[in-house]
Structure formats: C-alpha cells, structure tokens
Amino acid sequence: MKHLFSPYPIKGHTLKNRIVMPALASFLFHEDGSVTDEAIEHYRLRASAGMSMMIVEAATVSPEGIVSPHQARIFDDRFIGELSKIADVIKSEGIIAGIQLHHSGRQTSPRVIKGNPVAPSPLPCPTIKGKVHPLTVAEISQIVVKFGDAAERAIAAGFDLIEIHGAHGYLINQFLSRFSNIREDGYGGNIEGRTRFAKEVVQEIRKRVGNDIPISFKISAQEFVPNGLDINESIEILKILIDAGIDIVQVSAGNDATPEWICQPMYMKKACLAGSAYKIKQAVDITVMAVGRINDPVIAENIIADGKADLVCMGRGILADPAMPRKAKEGRFDEIRKCIACNTCMESIFRSGRIECLVNPVLGREKEMAIHSAVSPKKIMVVGGGPAGLNVAWVAAKRGHNVILFEKNSVLGGQLVIGSMSVYKREIRNLIEFQKRQVKRYGVECRMSHDVTLDDVLAEKPDVIVLATGSKPVLPSVTGINNRIVTVAVDVLADDSPKRLSTVVVGGGSTGCEAALYLAEIGCPVTIVEEMPKLARTLESITRKVLMGKLKEYGVDIKTGYKLTEIKEDGILLRSERDIFFIEAQRVVMATGNIPNTELYNQLKNIDADVHLIGDCLEVRNAKAAIYEGYVLGISV
C-alpha cells in the first residue's frame, strides 16, 4: 500500500494519501435545506476513516436546479452556516473538505421544482421526459453568476476545494454534449461553443475564490450514446477548462440515458473507468482522479502504482465500510466490509428519499443504531445461517450475549450463496465472507448441518430464540408439476455444475432472470416465460437494465404475457389471450415465488419463550431487509 498511502500536493495542501471520498448524494437534509444531525454524523464518521479528502454531495446553486427536496443547497446565504457544520466536522478530522456545486438542468421533475426544467435545447430528459425550457443567453449568464455566488458561500462555510459537477447528464454536461445540445448560437455547435458555458462557470468561480483554492471538474468522459462525449472530445474540452482555471479532473462517465455508467452495478467490471482516467492523464497536465467500481484498496493501490491516476475516488466502498481506509493502511483487509455494487444506495435515495445500504444497515442512521454493550447478557439461540441470522448473531455477540447459531446446511450464507453463483454476482461472496468472519471474531458458536427441532430448543433452554429460517419455493397447481424435468430455481443456482440442457424458466422475477443467466452462461439454450408484461419488475432500475442486456447478449429467449397451463415430458404448454403455445425443453425451472418457512415457529408458538422472526421467515423480501432486521434485533435484544 506504499503508493495508495503516499502524500500528494494540491495547491497549498498536502493530501496524506491518495484516497478521496467523492460527492455522493445522501439526501440527509431537511426540506428547507438545513443540515440534519444524521448528515453531520454521516460525514464525521467517514471523515475519521483515514482518507485524505472528502467532497460533500452536490449542492444546488439555484432553486430550479434541485433534484430532490432533501438535496443540499447553496443558493442563499442562509445555507452558509448550515454547510459550515459539515465542513467543520470534516476538517476536524484533519482532512481536506471540498463541496460539489451542481445544477440539474433538464434532469429533474417539474413536481420538485414547481415548473418546467431548464436545458440548453428543447430536448427533454430521456428518462424523466416532459417539457423543458431552453435557456436564453441572459438566463445562462445568470446561472454563471449563481455558480460564482455559490463558490463564495462555500469558501465562507469553510470548504477548502470547489468541485464543479460537469457530468452525469446534468446542466453543464447537457451543454458539453451534442446528445443534449443542438443550439446554433455561441453556446452550441463545435467544441468551443458547447464548452463556453462550462468555461464561463470555471472563470467566474476562479475570479470569486482567487488563485489559491483548488477547483475540480467532474466530467463524463464517455457517455455511451450517439453524439455523446468520447475520450478524445473530452480531452479537448478539458484543455479549454484547464486554461480557464481548473486544477483537478474527476473522470466519470454516463448520462441520463446511460445511468449504468454513472453508478455501475455488479454486472460491470471493477475499476471500469480507470482506463479512461489514464488516457486523460496522458493528455493533460493536471491532477487526475479515477472513479468507478473501485471498492477494494488493492485495486486502488494498483491504479496509483500503474500511474493511471493521481487520486482514487472510493465512494460506495466507504459507504459500505466507513473505516476502510484505516483498515487498509493497518493491513486489516479481512475486516473490510466491501461494497457489492448492488446499487441499493442509488435506489434508496429515489425510492425512500434517503441513502441506505444493503451491506451496511447503519448508513444514515449512525447514531441511532450504534452498538452498545448489553446490560444483562443472555443466551441467544439463532436458527438459520443466512443473512438475517448471521447479522443478528454477530451483532448480539459483539454486545456480550452468548450466541449459538444453528444451520441445517454445511455452509453459512443461505440465499446469498445461491445468489452468488452467476459469474457476474460473485462479489456477493465478499458479504458472506465478511459475515462469517464477524461471527468468528465475536465468538458465536456455530453448529452446522443441524436441522433444529422443538426438542433442540427445549434442551438448549435459551433466553431468546431468533428464527431466521428463511423461505421455501411455492409451486403452482398445474398438471405435470411433479414431472421429472421440473426443478426449482434455488436448486439450479445452488448447483455449481448444472447439466447443459435446453431449459425453460417459469417466472421472470429477479430470481428467475438470474437462474436463466446462470444457465445461459454455461451454454444452455434458455427461455424465460413470464405472465406479466415485464421481467424483474422489482429489481433496481440500473441493475435491471444491465441484467436485461446480459440476457440478450447470451441469447435468452423471453416470452411475456403467457401463463403456464401444463408441464409435459418434453416441454411446457402455455396460454396467452390470443393463442396456445408449446415450448420443447429438457428442464423446467420454477421461479414462481417463495413463502415463509414457519414450520419451527408453529411448533414454538405454544411454549413460553421469547421468540423473534426475522428475514424471509417473517415475510419474503430481499437481503437488504434481512440484514437490516438482523442488525436491529441484534442491538435491541
């Protein structure tokens, strides 16, 4: 780690290492823009982790540039005192505090800003759609001034660095790209015209803050859309912006039409944008920050050692484990809880209005979910070694309880093991290994290959019984359901060497799609049959987009709008509103849902005991819910 933890100079500052936490939306702000206690603790905890610099999440420079009611704001002097609370806690930990200045442009909802979004051209956002207001030259000039005003407020609040958000399909990116800018005046056309707005923003900020404050510019160096930015064009843009006054570039990718390149899911390679950073580093003489799926300090070390970038941004990795930099420096790699790129963080801020994490249930709740020693230690019996059972076991044990965990299988992990079989989902195994290490670290006694009975419970005489027995597949009542060619998705995913057979997967939820991809990867001809018009409807949108692309890449045939009516010896019979259809198959995989496994609970209901149900045996959901419930019970039991 000698490269990753080497110092680096930036305009009057010396960074103690090469790790930067980039601006990541937490939305832990009140609707009036004031800072919550949760936001302060969120930033304080991560600032204490041993990185060198933290860039606070995007703060909008103008009311019409808001993307969420809970976004940070910096368009009025009243926000200076609020933001200074965050700057103070970051700097109190001895690191550089930056803040990102942002305007959404067309990439926001009229419901949020109470009007039509603004844009360089009359082209709506590809995802939000709806009418937009093309900016006049006078309005552009006003926004330039607002960026300057915001920069002054940031310095007044105590920040050491200003970052300009020029990426991800937001307003500045919209001007830079021919994908979103079809203007014919001085703010459109060639590179110089499309870069004019960004150039004026940089010049205005430099004029306001002076020459001693470092300015970073975040760019989507590749947009992966027709007429979108590519590396060569981005290099020319950056040369203009360097002359205007930027000192640092953060090399990102993607826009509103290609969000999978903004927040890359587990189906994409680690450090997938490091090559882009390297090409830019070879072409320009400023500090280059790499970003994108850098969730492992070993990967970060290699990026610096190979000269691909000067600094590495480790965002989601530090959300998953706030202490990652310190653990890496001390060589405690086995203790790192790695991000698995499930994109729960991205999904949660839009669905729940605040940031959450699958692997780290404490994220955004650091104070309320702190672990404290138990007042009176108890004997706790945990039945089930899946994500819920493992989490409650180690958290309770850390508090001082005597915890015994029973697992009916020979390995721990439950549904996580099954879910990690596809080559694209192997990172889930990092979570399994972390949970197993925590269980061992805090002295949980594990009894494997033990299917717990009522007699076992009575013999152990625990003070508390935690049932984390998971769920079991539910099968439809159709003719031929017991046919020899029928199996269930969990059994397929649990098989590390399934036979290469022509397969029909019945059920197009996330489990069915993952089973189909797993079989297609090894060369099986696969068809997915789904009664609804859309597959994987509940899956996080970015992950779903990439998963659908993988199914197409592997030639998986998809049939929606069909209902299973019969299973025969050589295939299945389907019916839609218009026709009856037969698909020949050597294997039929049922992925038609699960029901809670409450067999043991039904036996325990009549005994006098403190019994808790968590995870799928309470209600069938996902790993995030299971891990969260396990943690909550672990800190409260």
Catalytically annotated residues: 170
The DSSP letter of residue 64 is G
Q: Per this entry, what is the length of the chain?
A: 637
Q: Which residues contact 398 (CB under 8 A, 6 or more apart)?
A: 371, 438, 442, 634
* CA dist., res. 323 & res. 57, Å (int): 19
- 90 class by beta-carbon count within 10 Å (0-12 exposed, 13-18 middle, 19+ buried): buried
Question: Is 408:451 a contact under the CB 8 Å cutoff?
Answer: yes
CA 168/CA 607 separation, integer angstroms: 57
What does R_g of the chain's alpha carbons equal in angstroms? 26
Helix (H, G, I), strand (E, B) or coil at 96: strand
Residue whose structure tokens are 């390297």: 278
Q: How far is CA 368 from the centre of its chain?
A: 22
* Strand, helix or coil for residue 99: strand
The helix or strand, by DSSP H or E, that contains position 10, with its residue range, turns out to be strand 8-10
Token pair in block for residue 493: 């995913």
DSSP state of 277: H
Report which residue type is found at 463. D
Task: Give the 3-state secondary structure of residue 74.
Answer: coil
User: Any residues with CB less than 8 A from the CB of 278 and at least 6 apart, and which?
Assistant: 306, 307, 308, 309
For residue 107, CA distances in Å to 127, 168, 177 come to 8, 9, 14
Contact call for residues 167 and 220 (beta carbons, < 8 A) = yes
> Hey, CA dihedral for 596, 599, 604, 610, is it positive or negative?
negative
Return d(Cα 115, Cα 109) in angstroms, integer: 8
Token digits of residue 170: 């937001």
Task: Report how far Cα 87 is from the mean position of its chain's Cα atoms.
Answer: 25
Cα–Cα–Cα angle for 417, 419, 425, nearest 5°? 105
540 vs 536: CA distance, rounded Å: 9
- E strand segments, 474-525: 486-488, 503-506
- 119 by DSSP, 3-state: which? strand
